[in-house]
Amino acid sequence: MKMLSGLDVLEMSEFQPLSGKKVALLCNQASVSKNLEHAIDLFYKAHQRGIFQLKALWGPQHGLFGHTQDNMIEWQSYPDPRTGLPVFSLYGEHRKPTPKMLEGIDCLVVDLQDVGSKYYTFIWTLAHCLEAAAEHGIEVVVPDRPNPLGGTQVEGTFLNENYRSFVGLYPLAIRHGMTIGEIARYLAERYLPDSRLKVVKMNGWQREMYFEDTGLPWAMPSPNMPLPQTALVYPGMCLLEATNLSEGRGTTRPFEIFGAPYLNGWQFAESLKRHSLPGVVFRPIEFQPTFQKHAGQVCQGCFIHVTDRRKFKPFLTGIAIIREAFLAYPEQFAWKQPPYEYEYQKMPFDILVGNGWLREMIESGADLSEMEARWQQESEEFSHIRQSFLMY
């Protein structure tokens, strides 16, 4: 039997937890059932049967159906042409629900597919929803979904609260090893005690499962997250957004492809090979992005082949790539300057990793092992903290 997502469990219960309520649904194109039926369709049918009243639809970054291809592109609210319901944007003029959005609802359902990495903004949209709902006494229901990276491994830095941003509103390790429902519990119980939260648990998910082990269909959670393999490398490769290295946006395999016009891909692959990074092979390539960094220019770089996903360390790999580029190309490599994800003062790299020390260590030429030893202390601290919020 296939495992069931929280949406599947909710549907099988005839939406019993929502019975008689006035509901808003926050979802996107990946909010599908095991049969690839979209949450909007399932909720609207339940609404028509009188189980509850569906009052509004909300969407996160990239839009309700992922129409904004590039990163950090805002979109505006609009009426849904199929249902006539208002669609409210939580990645435009507002990222936190406003009192107007919350008018006439007593329950907010958040059904989003996270990808297991602190930077992915959907969990911070969830955080803002928990904040706003707590302020207005509104219940939040989270149908849980699998962490595509499994739920056993934690890696990377643990956010310093002085570096809060929309890629890290609350302390969380980079690769957190939690489901979105577990993160909701962590946020509600540790930081938002006035929250009224209900998590609809999955059936059959085990912490050792990667997404391909679940039997569930993969629908792209965002336009540049085409495959589960993309999610696997993302905890490290998203960091390239904070540099002038292309993270592969504008290609058909973003985050698995990286490079720049100034890179020698063959030499770079050999340099990375010397680090003996676990579970990964770098294949030299050339590519020409169609949009974003270096659009229309031929770049050299590498394709990341994960050969053993249980040994692979995505955050370590991303830091190794940035460190190597910084040292090998001191005249051409550059850090991205603010603004980035609504932060106008702090460096983009610093808000992604949640501190100021890691960039300083890279710039000082510190050994990779020295940097990893420091962030391992932080990831171990978070591993201990998260234990009481795990549900599987």
Beta strands per DSSP E along the chain? 22-26, 53-59, 78-79, 86-89, 107-110, 139-143, 155-158, 173-175, 196-200, 257-260, 280-287, 299-306
Rounded Cα distance, 52 and 71, in Å: 35
Residue 241: what pLDDT?
A: 97
Q: How many contiguous H segments (helices) and E segments (strands) does the chain have?
A: 11, 12
Phi and psi for 80 in degrees, rounded to 5?
A: -70, 120
Task: Reply yes or no on whether the pLDDT at 271 is more than 80.
Answer: yes
**CATH class for the domain made up of 6-220:** alpha beta
CB distance 369 to 276 below 8 Å: no
Chain region(s) in the chain for CATH 3.90.1150.140: 228-381
- Residue from 109, 132, 127 nearest 39 by CA: 109
Give residue for tokens 């990341």. 304
Task: Quote the tokens at residue 186.
Answer: 């962590």
How deeply is 108 buried, as exposed, middle or buried, from its count of CB atoms within 10 A (0-12, 13-18, 19+)? buried
Task: Reply yes or no on whether the pLDDT at 67 is more than 70.
Answer: yes
Rounded Cα distance, 144 and 147, in Å: 9
Chain region(s) in the chain for CATH 3.40.50.12170: 6-220
DSSP one-letter code for 335: B
Q: Give the pLDDT confidence of 274-325 residue by residue, as tens digits.
A: 999 999 999 999 999 999 999 999 999 999 999 999 999 999 999 999 999 9
Query: How would residue 251 be classed by pLDDT, with cut points 50, 70 and 90?
Result: very high
Question: Which strands sit side by side in the sheet containing 78-79, from one edge to the other?
Answer: 78-79, 86-89, 53-59, 22-26, 107-110, 139-143, 196-200
Task: Quote the tokens at residue 276.
Answer: 């003996």
Rounded Cα distance, 120 and 341, in Å: 11
Residue 237: what pLDDT?
A: 98
Rounded Cα distance, 388 and 298, in Å: 49
Query: How would residue 28 be classed by pLDDT, with cut points 50, 70 and 90?
Result: very high
Residue 70: what pLDDT?
A: 75
CB distance 222 to 236 below 8 Å: no
Query: How would residue 71 be classed by pLDDT, with cut points 50, 70 and 90?
Result: confident
Rounded Cα distance, 242 and 194, in Å: 35
Mean pLDDT of the residues in the chain: 96
Beta strands per DSSP E along 95-246? 107-110, 139-143, 155-158, 173-175, 196-200
Give residue for tokens 């770089």. 301
The reported pTM is 0.96
Residue 322, amino acid: I
CATH annotation of 228-381:
3.90.1150.140
Residue 1: what pLDDT?
A: 55
Residue 23, amino acid: V
Query: How would residue 128 be classed by pLDDT, with cut points 50, 70 and 90?
Result: very high
